[in-house]
Amino acid sequence: MAERIAIYPGSFDPVTYGHVDITRRALMMFDRVIVAIAENIHKKGLLPVPERIRLLRSAFREDKRVEVDRFRGLLAAYCRRRGSRIVIRGLRAVADFEFEYQLAHMNRRLLSGLDTVFLMTGHEHFYTSSHLVKEVAMLGGDVSGLVSEVVVEALRRRRRKVAR
């Protein structure tokens, strides 16, 4: 039987406990999960991509079934290159579904047989988003409990750098 590989794409700027939860739950269904940072040339992230890779690898260092990667361009093309027909997406609220539903259908149009598996974010993380974590951290708020200590420290360093 072929290895079942799922791709979990996102910006992961920064990785939150919600992302970690979705990845761990995906591992209950698939043999391997590739957490793939989507590099958007039109969007400048708070944390540079190499830092996000480091933080993601730190989050999953104990599990060899998780691979961290990056990609540019179409997700469907990346899935084809990596030999996966499964995309994992986390949903926090009904508002997420509408946009994700459109993306899933477009990806399937671009790569026949590409399926999207939607996982509901756990109740303890449903209000957490990378955007909100970044905003609170950059304003000096406490984001511990939403992200790992490694991420808290990376955000503190970034805040100090931006403040200069």
Instruction: List active site positions.
Output: 19, 43, 92, 130
Of 119, 121, 96, the closest CA to residue 18 belongs to: 121
Q: Which helix (H) or strand (E) holds 70?
A: strand 66-72
Rounded Cα–Cα distance for residues 74 and 81 (Å): 11
What is the chain's length? 164
Q: How far apart are CA 148 and CA 47, in angstroms?
A: 15
Tokens of 6: 């799922």
